[in-house]
Amino acid sequence: MTTVVGIGETLLRLAPQDGDTLESAAALTVHVGGAEANVCASLAHLGISTAWISRLPANSLGRRIAATIRGFGVNVDGVLWAPDGRVGLMLVQPGAGPRASEVLYYRRDSAFASIDPDGVDWTLLDGARVVHLTGITPALGPNASRLVERSIAEARRRRVRVSFDVNYRAKLWDPPAARERIEPLLQGLDIVILNDRDAAALFGESGSPDAVAHRLRPRFGCGILVLTLGSAGALAEDQDGAYRQSAYPTQIVDRIGRGDAFAAGFLHGYLARGPAEGLRYGAAMAALKQTYRGDVCLATPLEVDAVLRGESGTFHR
């Protein structure tokens, strides 16, 4: 029986090799990634049963995405197949200080954007413990936005907890539009995750992280509010109090997907032993993700436990 179900779009990520730019690169590397699928894939590497619901075109690129997600150990039986359409693309130009990184999206009118919530096999949620959603999906069009509403309703009907990562994307919509659509979706959810930048940009909440979390949790009426703080770690607040966690040191190879790895680690620890353990696992997974290329944290339970024990960088032989 599935433990976590992720619902959302997955893209092909194209990027030049280190030092090259999109203007000059003769070749691009290809990775498969999408916030919700990344969480499911990372959890699958920890031995958690996961499933991913989405819509893909029935062509070679759609099949590549499904095969890759399946290869991570995620159940993809919930994927709807479109007779035509296209997959979304994300082109990444990695930065190297002081040059900033840049992301270009080509995902408008993708096969996923036309998903019909009535076509989803909602029985895949039966028996699950968590449905994981993000604020990316409602930015992709009316159908995708309705899908998020329906996902929350179907989860509540089955008494399945809902985890929602705000995951604001400025390339998709502006802060007022995002706030107007996302904030009503957050009301009464079990778990809301967001970073301190989105708390300020979308919801006008800045200042002490503890104060921000203390104001946002009742504003959303959520069970637990998780606020990530980059290199300063993360904190969470629920009805029993507040919890803090420092970030673990890491060597950065690829930053993309670290927030999804944190969400996966948080869900893993939270479901096992509560918010404090969720923060510990989330921080460890975020650190480990940045050591891998691609969108998914490929860490095993043994590797995560090593970070939690402070054995970072140990040479095993």
CA–CA separation, 208 and 205 (whole Å): 9
Beta bridge partners of 166: none
Shortest CA distance to 195 belongs to which of 149, 140, 262, 252? Answer: 262
165 is catalytic: no
Vertex 32 angle, CA 277 and 260, to 5°? 20
Residues 6+ apart with CB under 8 A from 39: 4, 6, 50, 132, 165, 260, 263, 264, 267
Shortest CA distance to 235 belongs to which of 269, 278, 182, 180? Answer: 278
Please state, in angstroms and as integers, the Cα–Cα distance from residue 17 to each residue in 29, 61, 293, following that order: 7, 21, 11
- Selected catalytic residue, list 121, 260, 295, 305: 260
The number of CA neighbours under 13 Å toward the Cβ of 154 is 23
Count other Cβ atoms within 10 Å, centred on residue 85.
18
Cite the active site residues. Answer: 260
